[in-house]
C-alpha cells in the first residue's frame, strides 16, 4: 500500500497503557487496511451471528499463525479478532451510540427500503441463512418489519419491531421454505442503517 495511513494519536495513561496503546494502534491499522471492505456500514450490515462466524474464522487464522510462530501473522490476526469483537458489540448496540445498528432500527420500513429488500432477494437472488438478530419483512404490500429475537431448540422466535418483546414461535426447519416462510424477505442491515432519522427511536 503506497498511501501512508494516519493513525489516531488517542492514547490512555492508565495502569495498562503500556500494552493497550500499542495494541490499539495495531487494531486501528487493521481497520484502515480493511476499510475498503465496507467500513462501519459494512460491519453493521451483519447480524450478531454472522459476526461471530467471522470471529471464529479469524481465530482459526490466529491459531495457525501461533503454530507457525509468525510474528506478523499473530499481530495481524490478533488485531482482527479484537476488531471483530468490537464490531460485534457495535452491532448489538452496546457502545453508547444512539445511531448504531440495533438502536437505530426503525419501527417500519420506508417504501424504498421495502423495494430494495425485495430486489435484493428477487432480482439479485440473495440467499438468506437466518441468524438471531436478523431483520425481515414479507412480500405483502405493507411496510412491516420483524426481528429474529432467538433461534433455539429447533424454534425461531420473532417479534414485530413495533412491539418488541412479544414473541411468536416458528419451526426453524421451514422458517424460510414452508407455508408463510417462503414469503419472508431478509432486510440486510445496511438498508436499516440508511433509514431516515425521523423513523429512529
- List Cα–Cα distances, 37 to 26, 84, 134, in angstroms: 18, 13, 21
Q: Which three cell numbers stand for residue 10?
A: 488517542
d(CA 55, CA 146): 26
Confidence at 27, pLDDT banded by 50, 70, 90: very high
Q: What's the average model confidence in pLDDT over 70-93?
A: 91
Residues 122 and 193 in one domain: yes
In the predicted structure, residue 21 carries a pLDDT above the cut 60: yes
Domain housing 177: 111-199
| pLDDT score recorded for residue 6 | 47
Give domain status of residue 48, yes or no: yes
Residue 142, φ and ψ in degrees, nearest 5: -145, 175
Q: How many residues does the chain have?
A: 201
Residues 54 and 133 in one domain: no
Number of domains observed in the structure of the chain:
2
Q: Among residues 54, 13, 8, 52, which one has the least CA distance to residue 31? A: 8
Residues 115 and 194 in one domain: yes
Q: What's the average model confidence in pLDDT over 36-56?
A: 81
Residues 142 and 83 in one domain: no
146-167 pLDDT, tens digit each = 999 888 899 999 999 888 888 9
Beta bridge partners of 151: 156
Give domain status of residue 97, yes or no: no
Following DSSP, what letter does each residue of 23-83 receive, concatenated?
HHHHHHHHHHHTGGGTHHHHHHTS-HHHHHHHHHHHHHHHHHHHHHT-HHHHHHHHHHHHH
Q: What's the average model confidence in pLDDT over 58-77?
A: 95
Give domain status of residue 24, yes or no: yes
Give domain status of residue 147, yes or no: yes
Residues 117 and 192 in one domain: yes
Q: Would you say 176 and 182 are in contact if contact means Cβ atoms under 8 Å apart?
A: yes
Residues 62 and 125 in one domain: no
In the predicted structure, residue 9 carries a pLDDT above the cut 70: no
d(CA 150, CA 73): 35
Of 99 and 144, the one with more pLDDT: 144
Q: pTM for the complete prediction?
A: 0.55
Least confident segment among 52-56, 64-68, 192-196: 192-196
In the predicted structure, residue 46 carries a pLDDT above the cut 90: no
Q: Among residues 91, 69, 68, 83, which one has the least CA distance to residue 33? A: 83
Residues 84 and 125 in one domain: no
Residues 6 or more apart in contact with residue 2 via CB below 8 angstroms: none
Residues 132 and 56 in one domain: no
Give domain status of residue 4, yes or no: no
Q: Would you say 188 and 45 are in contact if contact means Cβ atoms under 8 Å apart?
A: yes
Torsion 139-171-159-161 (CA) sign: negative
Residues 73 and 144 in one domain: no
Give domain status of residue 9, yes or no: no
Amino acid at each position: 500500500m503506497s498511501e501512508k495511513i494516519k493513525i489516531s494519536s488517542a492514547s490512555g495513561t492508565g495502569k495498562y497503557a503500556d500494552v493497550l496503546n500499542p495494541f490499539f494502534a495495531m487494531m486501528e491499522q487493521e481497520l484502515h487496511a480493511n476499510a475498503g471492505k465496507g467500513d462501519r456500514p459494512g460491519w453493521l450490515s451483519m447480524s450478531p451471528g454472522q459476526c461471530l462466524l467471522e470471529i471464529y474464522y479469524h481465530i482459526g487464522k490466529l491459531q495457525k499463525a501461533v503454530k507457525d510462530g509468525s510474528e506478523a501473522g499473530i499481530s495481524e490476526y490478533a488485531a482482527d479478532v479484537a476488531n471483530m469483537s468490537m464490531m460485534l458489540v457495535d452491532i448489538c448496540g452496546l457502545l453508547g451510540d444512539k445511531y448504531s445498528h440495533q438502536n437505530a432500527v426503525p419501527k417500519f420500513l420506508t417504501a424504498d427500503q421495502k423495494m430494495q429488500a425485495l430486489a435484493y432477494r428477487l432480482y439479485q437472488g440473495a440467499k438468506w441463512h437466518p441468524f438471531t438478530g436478523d431483520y425481515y419483512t414479507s412480500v405483502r404490500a405493507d411496510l412491516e418489519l420483524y426481528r429474529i429475537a432467538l433461534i433455539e431448540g429447533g424454534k425461531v422466535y420473532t417479534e414485530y419491531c413495533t412491539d418488541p418483546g412479544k414473541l411468536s414461535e416458528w419451526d426453524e426447519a421451514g422458517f424460510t421454505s414452508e407455508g408463510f416462510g417462503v414469503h419472508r424477505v431478509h432486510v440486510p442491515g445496511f438498508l436499516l442503517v440508511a433509514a431516515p432519522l425521523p423513523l429512529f427511536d
